């Protein structure tokens, strides 16, 4: 038996609220995927970019680009864990120098 199958939630309610992680991206991708890859990934990247609007215009641009990359990766493999690890490493890289300077 594969480990993934053993860890998969058994009920639909558990799948729907899988730690709150899959709900947002899963809903957005599920809703827009009938419009094709480009529309879906672009919408997800715009959402990601504008959700970081407090970082200024350069932050929105960088997060939009990262959203495009993350969107293509999610579209291709439909796995969030590589994206969670990538985002964690990105946050560690950006916040660690600030934490060490304090």
CA 76 – CA 36 distance, rounded (Å): 12
Cα dist. 92→24, 85, 95 in Å? Answer: 23, 10, 5
pLDDT tens digits in sequence order for the chain, 102 residues long = 444 444 444 544 444 444 444 445 567 778 898 999 999 999 989 988 998 899 999 999 999 999 999 999 999 998 889 999 999 999 999 899 888 887
In this prediction, residue 65 carries a pLDDT of 96
The model's pTM: 0.69
Backbone dihedral angles phi then psi of residue 2, each to the nearest 5 degrees: -75, 150
């Amino acid at each position: 038996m594969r480990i993934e199958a053993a860890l998969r939630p058994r009920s639909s309610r558990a799948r729907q609220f899988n730690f709150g992680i899959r709900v947002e991206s899963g809903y957005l991708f599920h809703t827009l995927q009938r419009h094709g890859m480009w529309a879906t990934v672009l919408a997800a990247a715009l959402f990601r970019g504008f959700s970081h609007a407090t970082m200024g215009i350069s932050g929105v641009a960088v997060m939009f680009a990262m959203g495009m990359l993350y969107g293509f990766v999610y579209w291709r493999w439909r796995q969030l864990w590589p994206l969670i690890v990538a985002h964690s490493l990105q946050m560690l890289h950006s916040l660690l120098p600030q934490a060490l300077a304090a």
